[in-house]
Structure 1
Amino acid sequence: MKNLLLAIMAAAVMMFSGCSSKEATPGYAGPAEVSTYFIAPLMSTDEVKSKLESAGFEIVAVDKVGKKKLDSIVFTNDHLKALADKPGRGFLAGALRVLVNTEGNEVRISNPRYFVKAFLQDDYKLGDEQPLLDAINKAFGELKPSEDKWEFAGLADYQFMMGRPYYQDVIVAGEGETAALNAKIEGAKKKDLVFKLDVGEGRTLYGVKLNKRTMKFVDKIGVQNAAILPWMVLVEDNKATAMRADYLIAISYPLLDMGGFMGIMTVPGAVEKDVSKYFK
């Protein structure tokens, strides 16, 4: 009887905490965690690009990130852009990244199941991510899930802690006619504008450099997830918006604790200043 009671209590704790050894799969609505990234053996940037392109992905940009100048590869495809072609969802079009981490001897790939669920929120439908997963599996074969993970059911309303932003609490970096906002950001220095991606009619996503000092946060909290850079700016409906750092960093680094976050406490304000400068 005592053993049975202990087993019931253990099951209750697992349900409450959202812990499970299972990855969330379409049709599974229970308390399961899903990995933030997939890990593959180290290969060259050219090999990664070739594998992605052979699986039908478009290479949006390759950018050097972190102190060691690791390669962050932004990739997308028509399916991902179609999912992102809704008001406020355009960030998803550029959310999938690969980090070629020669320092850590690995290649780290964004898990579409994690980011599609998080960024689509109420627009998410079971299976939206499956074509992306199938294409990544086709490109890279067997992949190892990262230790970074979060409860699948909690991704849509993710918040680092009380008082911190949700996905929808974006930075408004500029306001005005959409065409004028596009012209402003496209007039930035060539080295600062990493990519331009047309998501849909009247909806354009940009990847931009932050200030050199701001970008050092990836070296402080873990270069393994440095593909968070370049930062994204979305122009649509006469506004230019960017995700807040204390949302995007936290959801991209789910193992980051309060102590780690305190070490970069100036970064959210710096990011807001950095992205707003493009629209002065």
Structure 2
Amino acid sequence: MKHLIISAITLLLVHFSSFGQDLSPYIKVGESSNSIQEVSDKVIQTLKDNSFTVLGAYNPSNKSTLKVIAFTRNDLKNTVIKVKDRGALGAVMKIGLVAKGDKIIISYTNPDYLLRAYLPTTYNTYKSQFEKFSSDLKITLSSLGDEFKPFGGSVQADKLGNYHYKIMMPYFTDPIELAEFSSFKEGLNMITNNLKANKGNTKEVFRLVYEKEEVAVFGVGLQSKENGESYFLPKIGEDHVAALPYEIILQGKEATMLHGKYRIALHWPELTMGTFMKIMSTPGDIEDALEALCKQSDI
């Protein structure tokens, strides 16, 4: 009986510690004295050697001191697509590289953080699969560093599914509709062609297409010097570079994006209102750029 009581108390403590746990959007792997290209090559090869799929890479703000590598794995990709309300956004994780002095800082998006936010009502259904993905990713990246320190602010785990920055600010469930097409194929072709043409100073970083489910996620680099990454990233923090690129998700005939006031806040949860005000135009600028990719190009 005594052992049963102790076991029950232990389970309760584990449950409540998890319930109130703070999670951060990023995890620092470590630092390297190699060049950013050498580190990037090693990251990509390490991911490939451990059954992860690299979807694309680029230099945010067109800066050689910043690099992002987008990747997924079949189990994650095939699980999140079961969630109809934009679950595919959770399929793509990113590794960020930032050159500081003679060191390259290596970090990645925390799957436990993002998946709780992007699958607000179904995370617990697939929790064991997501925890295995997160654990395997950590083991894979351990050859690149041994710090694994969370950073970038924090949000209580149980609040991520209903996250918003401040009162009256948008939630995950308040996406912006960019366009409605006559078919999934039309939408896929139009966005593809506009990205190939670099319409609106954009760049395709990655795409993930589920043909059967008629879902596609595009990672879009925002290359305008006036109002793209070069404008807003230095103001809110380049250490969070793994937040990029921004996404368009096409589901059936409809293309949407996460509201900038939600997505930026989610990836920079420690932003003060004063700093947020410095990029007041950015959510609208991003919407304009992504909306342009969903329209017929002018002839």
Same fold, TM-score > 0.5, yes or no: yes
TM-score, L = length of structure 2: 0.80
User: How many Å separate the matches in 1 of 2:177 and 2:194?
Assistant: 18
Map of 2:4 onto structure 1: none
- CA offsets per residue over residues 69-117 of structure 1, 9 Å max, x none? 31111110112212320322111112x1111111374111111110111
Give structure 1 stretches of 5+ with no counterpart.
1-24
1:190-228 CA deviation, whole Å, 9 max, x = no partner? 352222212462111111232512222111110011222
Q: Does 1:36 align with 2:25?
A: yes
The aligned counterpart of 1:182 is 188
The aligned counterpart of 2:207 is 196
Deviation at 1:30, TM superposition (A): 2.8
CA distance in 2, matches of 1:223, 1:165: 24
Q: Would you say how many aligned residue pairs link Structure 1 and Structure 2? A: 255
Match for residue 11 of structure 1? none
CA gap of 1:26–1:106, structure 2 versus 1, over 3 A, is farther
Deviates further, 250-259 or 208-217: 208-217
Distance 1:173 1:259, change over 3 A: same
Pick from 124, 149, 160 the counterpart of residue 154 of structure 2. 149
* Aligned residue identity for 1:179: K
Q: Which residue of 2 aligns with 1:118?
A: 117
Give the counterpart of 1:65 among 44, 60, 65: 60
- On the 8 A contact 2:60/2:221 being kept in 1, the answer is no
Among 211, 225, 228, the residue aligned to 1:214: 228
The CA distance in 1 between the partners of 2:167 and 2:152, in whole Å, is: 24
Contact 1:34 1:149 (8 Å CA) reproduced: yes
- Provide the residue aligned with 1:133 in structure 2: 134
| TM-score w.r.t. length of structure 1 | 0.85
- Partners of 1:275 and 1:41 lie apart in 2 by 34
Question: Are residues 36 and 79 of structure 1, via their aligned partners in 2, closer, same or farther at CA, if it must alter by over 3 Å?
Answer: same
Identity of matched residues, %: 24
Does structure 2 conserve the Cα–Cα contact (< 8 Å) formed by 1:65 and 1:227? no
- The range that moved more, 105-114 or 183-192, is 183-192
Aligned partner of 2:174 in structure 1 is 169
Match of 1:79 among 75, 79, 82: 75
Root mean square deviation, CA, Å? 1.9
